[in-house]
Structure 1
Amino acid sequence: MKHTNKEVLSKGIKYLAGALPLALIGPSILYNAFNNQDHPLYIAVLILGIIATFASIFLMFKGIMTIIKALFD
Protein backbone atom coordinates (compact mmCIF):
# COMPACT_ATOMS: atom_id res chain seq x y z
CA MET A 1 0.00 0.00 0.00
CA LYS A 2 1.52 3.30 -1.11
CA HIS A 3 1.22 6.21 1.31
CA THR A 4 0.79 9.72 0.03
CA ASN A 5 3.33 12.37 0.93
CA LYS A 6 0.76 14.12 3.12
CA GLU A 7 0.22 10.97 5.21
CA VAL A 8 3.96 10.40 5.59
CA LEU A 9 4.48 14.05 6.55
CA SER A 10 1.76 13.85 9.21
CA LYS A 11 3.35 10.69 10.59
CA GLY A 12 6.69 12.50 10.89
CA ILE A 13 5.05 15.41 12.68
CA LYS A 14 3.42 12.95 15.10
CA TYR A 15 6.83 11.46 15.88
CA LEU A 16 8.19 14.93 16.60
CA ALA A 17 5.13 15.75 18.74
CA GLY A 18 5.81 12.62 20.78
CA ALA A 19 9.47 13.54 21.16
CA LEU A 20 8.77 17.02 22.51
CA PRO A 21 7.46 16.03 25.96
CA LEU A 22 10.20 13.43 26.31
CA ALA A 23 12.82 16.05 25.41
CA LEU A 24 11.61 18.16 28.34
CA ILE A 25 10.88 15.40 30.86
CA GLY A 26 13.98 13.23 30.31
CA PRO A 27 16.63 15.80 31.27
CA SER A 28 14.47 16.96 34.21
CA ILE A 29 14.34 13.42 35.55
CA LEU A 30 18.10 13.08 35.09
CA TYR A 31 18.68 16.37 36.92
CA ASN A 32 16.53 15.23 39.83
CA ALA A 33 18.26 11.85 39.92
CA PHE A 34 21.72 13.41 40.12
CA ASN A 35 20.59 15.80 42.86
CA ASN A 36 19.24 12.94 44.99
CA GLN A 37 22.05 10.39 44.74
CA ASP A 38 21.60 9.25 48.33
CA HIS A 39 17.94 8.29 47.78
CA PRO A 40 17.20 4.54 47.63
CA LEU A 41 15.44 4.86 44.26
CA TYR A 42 18.36 6.72 42.67
CA ILE A 43 19.21 3.96 40.17
CA ALA A 44 15.58 3.47 39.10
CA VAL A 45 15.03 7.19 38.52
CA LEU A 46 18.37 7.48 36.70
CA ILE A 47 17.45 4.60 34.37
CA LEU A 48 14.02 6.13 33.73
CA GLY A 49 15.62 9.46 32.83
CA ILE A 50 18.13 7.83 30.49
CA ILE A 51 15.39 5.84 28.76
CA ALA A 52 13.22 8.95 28.33
CA THR A 53 16.14 10.95 26.94
CA PHE A 54 17.17 8.27 24.46
CA ALA A 55 13.54 7.73 23.42
CA SER A 56 13.30 11.44 22.70
CA ILE A 57 16.46 11.35 20.58
CA PHE A 58 15.19 8.30 18.70
CA LEU A 59 11.77 9.84 18.03
CA MET A 60 13.35 13.09 16.85
CA PHE A 61 15.61 11.21 14.45
CA LYS A 62 12.75 9.06 13.15
CA GLY A 63 10.46 12.08 12.78
CA ILE A 64 13.02 14.16 10.90
CA MET A 65 13.89 11.25 8.60
CA THR A 66 10.18 10.64 7.92
CA ILE A 67 9.60 14.30 7.08
CA ILE A 68 12.63 14.32 4.78
CA LYS A 69 11.30 11.18 3.07
CA ALA A 70 7.92 12.87 2.58
CA LEU A 71 9.46 16.02 1.12
CA PHE A 72 12.11 14.52 -1.15
CA ASP A 73 10.67 11.16 -2.21
Structure 2
Amino acid sequence: MMKHTDKKTLSKGVKYLAGSLPLVMIGPSVLYNAFNNQNHPWYIPVLVFGIIATFAAIFLMFKGIMTMVNSFFGKRS
Protein backbone atom coordinates (compact mmCIF):
# COMPACT_ATOMS: atom_id res chain seq x y z
CA MET A 1 0.00 0.00 0.00
CA MET A 2 1.30 3.42 -0.94
CA LYS A 3 1.56 6.06 1.78
CA HIS A 4 0.60 9.62 1.01
CA THR A 5 1.78 12.88 2.50
CA ASP A 6 -0.24 14.10 5.45
CA LYS A 7 -1.13 17.59 4.25
CA LYS A 8 -2.28 18.83 7.66
CA THR A 9 1.06 17.92 9.26
CA LEU A 10 2.93 19.33 6.26
CA SER A 11 1.19 22.69 6.61
CA LYS A 12 2.04 22.70 10.32
CA GLY A 13 5.72 22.18 9.45
CA VAL A 14 5.64 24.97 6.88
CA LYS A 15 4.14 27.28 9.53
CA TYR A 16 7.01 26.47 11.90
CA LEU A 17 9.51 27.29 9.16
CA ALA A 18 7.67 30.50 8.30
CA GLY A 19 7.77 31.48 11.96
CA SER A 20 11.50 30.90 12.12
CA LEU A 21 12.22 33.09 9.08
CA PRO A 22 11.91 36.48 10.84
CA LEU A 23 13.87 35.18 13.82
CA VAL A 24 16.69 34.07 11.51
CA MET A 25 17.11 37.68 10.46
CA ILE A 26 16.39 39.39 13.79
CA GLY A 27 18.50 37.24 16.13
CA PRO A 28 21.94 37.67 14.57
CA SER A 29 21.27 41.35 13.81
CA VAL A 30 20.41 42.05 17.45
CA LEU A 31 23.48 40.10 18.60
CA TYR A 32 25.70 42.09 16.24
CA ASN A 33 24.30 45.36 17.55
CA ALA A 34 24.67 44.24 21.15
CA PHE A 35 28.34 43.36 20.69
CA ASN A 36 29.01 46.68 18.97
CA ASN A 37 27.51 48.63 21.90
CA GLN A 38 29.04 46.87 24.90
CA ASN A 39 29.35 50.03 26.97
CA HIS A 40 25.65 50.90 26.62
CA PRO A 41 23.43 50.37 29.72
CA TRP A 42 21.02 48.20 27.70
CA TYR A 43 23.81 45.82 26.59
CA ILE A 44 22.77 42.82 28.73
CA PRO A 45 19.00 42.90 27.94
CA VAL A 46 19.66 43.30 24.21
CA LEU A 47 22.24 40.50 24.30
CA VAL A 48 19.82 38.17 26.10
CA PHE A 49 17.05 39.01 23.61
CA GLY A 50 19.39 38.27 20.69
CA ILE A 51 20.46 34.94 22.16
CA ILE A 52 16.85 33.92 22.83
CA ALA A 53 15.77 34.95 19.31
CA THR A 54 18.64 33.01 17.73
CA PHE A 55 17.93 29.84 19.71
CA ALA A 56 14.20 30.17 19.00
CA ALA A 57 14.97 30.35 15.28
CA ILE A 58 17.10 27.21 15.47
CA PHE A 59 14.43 25.39 17.48
CA LEU A 60 11.61 26.36 15.12
CA MET A 61 13.64 25.33 12.06
CA PHE A 62 14.42 21.95 13.61
CA LYS A 63 10.81 21.40 14.67
CA GLY A 64 9.52 22.47 11.25
CA ILE A 65 11.86 20.18 9.33
CA MET A 66 11.09 17.24 11.63
CA THR A 67 7.34 17.86 11.28
CA MET A 68 7.65 17.94 7.50
CA VAL A 69 9.71 14.73 7.45
CA ASN A 70 7.06 13.07 9.63
CA SER A 71 4.38 14.17 7.17
CA PHE A 72 6.32 12.67 4.24
CA PHE A 73 7.35 9.36 5.78
CA GLY A 74 4.92 8.84 8.65
CA LYS A 75 5.49 9.22 12.34
CA ARG A 76 8.30 7.22 13.94
CA SER A 77 7.16 4.49 16.30
Give the drift of 1:32: 0.2
RMSD, aligned α-carbons: 0.9
4+ aligned runs moved over 6 Å, structure 1: none
Q: Specify the alignment match of 2:12 in structure 1.
A: 11
The answer for unaligned runs of 5 or more in structure 2 is none
1:25-40 mapped onto 2 (5 Å cutoff): 25-40=26-41
If you compute each CA radius of gyration, which structure gives the higher value, 1 or 2?
2
Q: Specify the alignment match of 1:23 in structure 2.
A: 24
> Within 2, Cα distance between the matches of 1:40 and 1:71?
49
> Within 1, Cα distance between the matches of 2:30 and 2:20?
15
> Within 2, Cα distance between the matches of 1:7 and 1:28?
33
Name the structure where helix makes up a greater proportion of residues: 1
Query: Residue type of the partner of 1:57?
Result: I
Query: Residue type of the partner of 1:49?
Result: G
The answer for unaligned runs of 5 or more in structure 1 is none
Q: Specify the alignment match of 1:64 in structure 2.
A: 65
When the two structures are superposed, what TM-score results if normalisation uses the length of structure 1?
0.94
